[in-house]
Chain A
Amino acid sequence: MSLLEAITARIDDCVVAAWVDIRTGSVVEQRPARSEPFVAPALDAAIEVMRSPERPPRMVLLSDRHVHVIQRTAHDPNRVLVVICARSPNLGLAVSQVRALLEAERA
Chain B
Amino acid sequence: MIANPVPSAPVAIEVLHALGRVPSDACGALVRKHPDGTVAGAMLVERGRVCWAMSQHYPRRLTDILVDEEHTLTHDQLNELFAMCRRDHMPLGETLVARGLISLPVLHRALLRHTCEALDCLVREEASPWAWVPHSGFGYHPMLTFSPAEVVTGVRAIANPALAARAMARLAEVVRPDQHGFAIERLRGVKVPLAQLHCEGLDMVALGDLAIHADEVMAVADTIGVKIALAQLGELACASWIEHDVLFVLLCGGELAFNRLVAQASAMTVHP
Instruction: Find residues 181-233 in chain B having any chain A CB closer than 8 Å to their own CB.
Output: 213, 216-217, 220-221, 223-233
Q: Is the interface of A mostly helix, strand, loop or mixed?
A: mixed
Q: From A94, which residue of chain B is reached at the shortest CB distance?
A: B262
Instruction: Find residues 229-272 in chain B having any chain A CB closer than 8 Å to their own CB.
Output: 229-233, 238, 258-259, 262-263, 265-266
Bound CA span A67–B233, Å: 19
Bound CA span A69–B91, Å: 55
Q: From B258, which residue of chain A is reached at the shortest CB distance?
A: A58
Instruction: Find residues 33-59 in chain A having any chain B CB closer than 8 Å to their own CB.
Output: 38, 41-42, 45, 48-49, 52, 54-59
- With contacts A58-B232, A58-B258, A61-B229 taken as known, whether A92 is within 8 angstroms of B266 at the C-beta atoms is yes
Render A10-45 as a binary contact track against B, CB cut-off 8 A, 1 for contact: 000000000000000000000000000010011001
Which residues from chain A contact B258 at a C-beta distance below 8 Å? 58
Instruction: Find residues 55-103 in chain A having any chain B CB closer than 8 Å to their own CB.
Output: 55-65, 67-68, 87, 91-92, 95-96
- With contacts A49-B217, A49-B220, A91-B266 taken as known, whether A61 is within 8 angstroms of B226 at the C-beta atoms is yes
Q: Are B263 and A63 in contact (CB under 8 A)?
A: no
Chain A residues near B (Cβ < 8 Å): 38, 41-42, 45, 48-49, 52, 54-65, 67-68, 87, 91-92, 95-96
A selection of 28 A-B contacts at a CB cut-off of 8 Å is A41-B224, A45-B221, A48-B220, A52-B213, A52-B216, A55-B217, A56-B213, A56-B233, A56-B238, A57-B232, A58-B258, A59-B230, A59-B231, A60-B231, A61-B221, A62-B227, A62-B229, A62-B230, A62-B265, A62-B266, A64-B225, A65-B225, A68-B226, A87-B266, A92-B259, A92-B262, A92-B266, A95-B262
Chain B residues near A (Cβ < 8 Å): 213, 216-217, 220-221, 223-233, 238, 258-259, 262-263, 265-266
